[in-house]
Every structure is written in C-alpha cells, then in structure tokens.
Amino acid sequence: MEREVHEQYEYARRRLRQKKVLYFHFVLFLIGSLFLFVANRFFGFGERTTQNWCIWGITIWFFLFILHFIKVYITDRFMNKKWEREQIDRLVALQQKRISQLESKVNAENESKI
C-alpha cells in the first residue's frame, strides 16, 4: 500500500511540475510576444527585411505553446504510468501466449518423431 501512495505522490508531483512549466511558458510567451511587437512597431527593429516579422515569430511561438499544451493536458494525462503498465502487461501476455504456442508445436513435433 505504501508503494501505491508513493507512486501517486510522485505522479501528482510530476503533473504539478508539468503544469507549472506550462504556465511559465505561457507567461514567457505573452511577455516575449509583447517585446517582439514593441521592438517591431515602435523601435523599427527589422523593418528593412520584413515589416511584419514579429507576427511570424509570435505565430510560430504560439504553435509551439499549443504543442506543449497538448503534451501536458492530453498526451501525458492519458499515457501515464498506469497506461504504460497496462501496455507492458498486454505485450508480456502476448509474448507468453506465443511462447506457449511454440512450445506446444515443438512438443507435438517431437512426439510425432518418436
């Protein structure tokens, strides 16, 4: 029982850290986007190349943030330790079934030769 409680605690701690990093990424995205916009519009940084370069930068950064959000709230939520254990147990069961089939086949061949 103590092991389960420890695993639950570790899972909760890991999820909390993931969410904390996601929130930090969101705040950094907002501040960084504001900085890029101000640098482009008010200080004229990069006007020689492309006038709306900050929009491209913000869009790419937003896409990366969305990927991070999906990882934290969708992917890692369903594919956790419990899911991993279930998949491992399923694969081990399939391997054991295949091994028993091969053993029975070999035994049947050996009996037919005798």
User: Residue ranges of the domains in the chain?
Assistant: 1-79, 80-114
Q: H or E segment at 87?
A: helix 81-113
User: CA-to-CA distance for 22 and 72, rounded, in angstroms?
Assistant: 8
> Is the full-model pTM beyond 0.95?
no
Tokens of 71: 């990882």
Evaluate whether 81 touches 11 at the Cβ level (below 8 Å). yes
Evaluate whether 26 touches 65 at the Cβ level (below 8 Å). yes
User: CA-to-CA distance for 110 and 30, rounded, in angstroms?
Assistant: 72
More confident residue, 67 or 74: 67
More confident residue, 12 or 82: 12
pLDDT tens digits, one per residue of 4-21: 788 888 888 988 999 999
pLDDT tens digits, one per residue of 39-69: 887 777 666 666 677 888 899 999 999 999 9
Give the model's pLDDT for residue 47.
62
Tokens of 36: 């890029």
Evaluate whether 71 touches 22 at the Cβ level (below 8 Å). no
